[in-house]
Amino acid sequence: MMKNNSHPASKGEFKSKNLVAERKRRIRLKERIYALRVLVPKITKMSKATTLDDAVDYIKELQNQAMKLQDELLMLPYEAGDCEGSVASTEEEKPLLNCKEEVCVTLIDANELHIKITSKETTNGFFILIDLLSNLGFEIVDINWFVFKGVTTGMICVEGVDAAVKAEDLRKLLPETIKAIRMISVD
């Protein structure tokens, strides 16, 4: 290659002022094309247009692949995809369960109890509460519990004989915490 080097002005005079700027621009564009060529694995032809074509196809392919992989991960029992904003811990000293926790106990029937929790504390109270439920002889049927932006939300469904009296025991054991013990009438 020996392309034009001496054509427009054999002695160095040029009319345009943006000549060098345009040269820079061309170089910049060319280099971006090269960068794409390096990145894209399938290059069908060493030409600008086809390089861009390949880049377009490759991006589409990558997008599809990413979608597919993400779907596969979502099929798993659970996955790490949305664990991004990972819970900045907010480590303070934890009081016992008489803090700002709000616990609502609902007596479903003679053997079943629903416990709803909302709290600004994190998880220390969880262990205490679970320990209490264990000592009271309950069995865990259903738990949904998560901490988001420092706010804990939990629902626990437990089963055990004499749930009504055990609910009152809970009220005694968590006097500052239990906001309400409700009854739900069942036949």
Partner DNA sequence: ATTAACACGTGAATC
Partner DNA sequence: TGATTCACGTGTTAA
In the stretch 47-86, what mask flags binding to a second copy with x, by CB under 8 A?
A: -xx--xx-xx-xxx-xx-xx--xx-xx--xxxxx--x--x
15 sits near DNA (criterion: CB under 7 A): yes
Q: Which is nearer to DNA, 3 or 11 (CB)?
A: 3
142 sits near a second copy (criterion: CB under 8 A): yes
Residues 6+ apart with CB under 8 A from 142: 155, 156, 157
Find the binder of a second copy among 130, 164, 173, 181 (CB under 8 A): 130
Q: Is residue 183 within a helix (H) or strand (E), and if so which, with residue range?
A: strand 178-183
Q: How many residues line the site for a second copy (CB under 8 A)?
A: 62
Residues 6+ apart with CB under 8 A from 154: 115, 116, 117, 118, 119, 126, 143, 144, 145, 146
Are 142 and 166 in contact by the 8 Å Cβ rule? The answer is no
Residue 119 burial by CB count (10 A; 0-12/13-18/19+): exposed, middle or buried? buried
Listed in sequence order, the DSSP H helices in 40-114 are 48-75
**Angstrom distance (rounded) from CA 110 to CA 56:** 65
Strand pairing class (151-159; 139-148) = antiparallel
11 sits near DNA (criterion: CB under 7 A): no
Q: Which stretch binds DNA (CB under 7 A): 22-30, 92-100, 137-145, 152-160?
A: 22-30
Instruction: Give the footprint of a second copy on this chain (CB under 8 A).
Output: 25, 28-29, 32-33, 35-36, 39-40, 48-49, 52-53, 55-56, 58-60, 62-63, 65-66, 69-70, 72-73, 76-80, 83, 86-87, 89, 108, 111-112, 114, 116, 122-124, 126-127, 130-131, 134, 139-147, 154-155, 157, 159, 184
Instruction: Give the footprint of DNA on this chain (CB under 7 A).
Output: 1-5, 7-9, 14-19, 21-23, 25-27, 30, 45-50
